[in-house]
Amino acid sequence: MTSQVRRLIHPAVVSSVSILSREESRTLCGLRTLVEGWIGGLEASDGGLVVRTEKRMTSSGSVARKRLEGTVSSLKGGKPWAALFADNSQLQSVLAAFSPPGWDHPALGFGIQTTLAGTSIDLAYIGRSLSEMQGATTDRLAEGETVHVYRWALDHPSVLSLLPGKGPGDPDWNDALATDPGFLQGWIGRSAWIPLMDRADGYELTPYESCSSLDWFRGVLPGDGGLHDAKMTRAGCSRVLRFVSPRLWLGPPLVALVDRAKMEHVAELTELGHGWRVVARAEGDLVALEEALLPVLPVESARVKRSS
């Protein structure tokens, strides 16, 4: 029987995500160059770029929002564009989407989002939850915020041809960011999901987290307030992998938690300064990769081990 690859009726999304510690990173000031290098090929197009921003929620619960709209070339030349990447920016979310001429919906985009809940997370509580979940003592969790940087495009030739050689499936962003001292994790994946992390309007899960056995709403400790607040923190992202795909990047904290020999058996590993690039040897079968990554997956691995 000939095997066939089943495609979605609607194009899926190819996306890449990198997560860095906001305090430790040396690359964040260069995000403007990274973004502009990626969308530079769209400057000659009269398609529309829409950028939505949100500041951090105030103590009174208000959130300042702005919307920028124009062509890529017109927006890149303005002061509001530079403010998106300012070192002292108070923005929590920058969400950009590009629509080719004549399209009524976006075809590709990028995002930069910082931790929603700030640094007021109870590290002891996170440690107890993860210890119960993973069956191992969790200590030395680092306090701090993260920056989630990502780009995406509809997985269709008509869209990917808009940025030849620079599609989200190209590992250039992730490889470059994985050399940063603040790098925590990253991935390239294909799914029916446009990346979106926590915002003032609510918490967001990756598709992998949505399917995981960990109940993020309640956590794993009775009577607690859940782990949603911790997902985007440095403590959370240095201990739990947010997505599994055939191409992953693991920062030093996650590397220290997995068995390198097991990983090399199922994946090709390449060191990139401050982390590994992990490429599954059998791209269509992630079971073996998941087994090697079990100590850092968003699952109650202690329970998995007891039942196996």
For 278-296, what is each residue's pLDDT tens digit? 999 987 789 999 999 999 9
Q: What is the mean pLDDT of residues 15-39?
A: 92
- Give the pLDDT band of residue 71 (cuts 50, 70, 90): very high
Q: Which of 33, 258, 275 has the alpha carbon at shortest distance from 178?
A: 275
Closest-CA residue to 249 (of 151, 180, 305): 180
Average pLDDT over residues 28-47: 91
Determine what percent of the chain is predicted with pLDDT higher than 70. Answer: 93
Question: Which residues neighbour 182 within 8 Å (Cβ) at sequence distance 6 or greater?
Answer: 20, 21, 22, 23, 24, 25, 26, 27, 28, 274
Of the candidates 88, 86, 91, 111, which has an alpha carbon nearest to the alpha carbon of residue 200?
91
CA dist 247 → 102, 162, 269 (Å): 34, 23, 10
**pTM of the predicted structure, to 2 decimals:** 0.93
Contacts made by residues 202-206, CB under 8 angstroms, sequence distance 24+? 203/116, 203/228, 203/231, 205/231, 206/242, 206/243
Residue 180 above 70 pLDDT?
Answer: yes
Note the pLDDT of residue 197: 96
Report, as an integer, the average pLDDT of 39-47. Answer: 91
What confidence tier does 8 reach under pLDDT thresholds 50, 70, 90?
A: low
The pLDDT assigned to 222 comes to 77
The closest alpha carbon to 215, from 200, 202, 231, belongs to: 231
Question: pLDDT tens digits, residue range 122-160?
Answer: 888 888 888 888 777 777 788 899 999 999 999 999 999
Q: Residue 6's pLDDT is what?
A: 60
Q: Which residues partner with 269 through β-bridges?
A: 278
Q: At 294, is the secondary structure helix, strand, or coil?
A: helix
d(CA 128, CA 180): 29
CB hemisphere CA count around 291 (13 angstroms): 10
* Residue 1 clears pLDDT 50, i.e. is over it: no
Q: Which of these, 220, 226, 171, lies nearest to 198 by C-alpha position?
A: 226
Q: What is the pLDDT of residue 237?
A: 94
Residue predicted with more confidence, 212 or 81: 81
pLDDT score, position 49: 97
